[in-house]
Structure 1
């Protein structure tokens, strides 16, 4: 299913380094990309070990990068955490990355709401529910959503 018909022209290690030179990847994500390129599990294991040993691959650095990107897009901690879990980043690393980013999630929720709704308060329950759903989808907690919407 994943393997191509032609064998890869570069070693798994070279492919891994090439992928990592373009942007940070998590361990699982890198392994998946190498698998799609047609490398064996053994080659992938050795390439990842090499990258870890030389600090080319670092899940914490990757998680911090992802947190920054998502914060820039106006996403809350829940959504960021969920997306990193899907990429098989450990719960502990996710917590550290979110904590070290130092984002005020309440203020980010407020900024996101202001940007989306242009500072207008909901006129009725239906509109308020729509605003709440939008912020929930963005990954904010109910307390953060309440703060964001009452401050408009």
Structure 2
């Protein structure tokens, strides 16, 4: 991983607060950004602890924000879960965020399919398989996909 050779101009805490003032970050993501700026592990740990203590940094709030963004894009729970896991958000936190968002995944799959396929049912098996793959890629499970494609 790339690290600067010259020392950072601001404290790790100031940099963390500056990053968080622009948008929410997860703990891991913030730590990675601070590491890239050249801060020591100890400085990073202290600044993250400070941000958590003062509620500037909250993985649940971050996860909920990510869930809302992905739902807006028409992504299903599986895709959202995977993306948050890649950002090292705890499974329990992801589950709470998905549950509290209260999205009807069946209806989201249906609206995503309607938007993509313009309300047209597949004419043959090949086209149907293509539609299924698209919705799988978007993160919907088979029951949701089946519902969405039957409702077209």
Using structure 2 for the length normalisation, give the TM-score. Answer: 0.99
What are the residue-to-residue correspondences of 1:1-152 with 2, within 5 Å? 1-152=1-152
Shift of 1:7: 1.1
Shift of 1:12: 0.3
Q: Give the Cα–Cα distance (whole angstroms) in 2 for the partners of residues 35 and 132 of structure 1.
A: 41
Using structure 1 for the length normalisation, give the TM-score. Answer: 0.99
1:102-148, Cα deviation, whole Å (9 max, x unpaired):
00000000000000000000000000000000000000000000000
Shift of 1:5: 2.0
Q: Give the Cα–Cα distance (whole angstroms) in 2 for the partners of residues 36 and 109 of structure 1.
A: 38
CA RMSD in angstroms comes to 0.5
Runs of 4+ in 1 over 4 A off after TM superposition: none
1:13-56, Cα deviation, whole Å (9 max, x unpaired):
00000000000000000000000111000000000000000000
Shift of 1:2: 2.5
Which 5+ residue runs of structure 2 have no aligned equivalent? none
Q: Give the Cα–Cα distance (whole angstroms) in 2 for the partners of residues 105 and 7 of structure 1.
A: 48
Paired residues, number:
152
Indicate conservation of the 8 Å contact 1:2/1:37, yes or no: no
Q: Give the Cα–Cα distance (whole angstroms) in 1 for the partners of residues 3 and 147 of structure 2.
A: 50
Which 5+ residue runs of structure 1 have no aligned equivalent? none
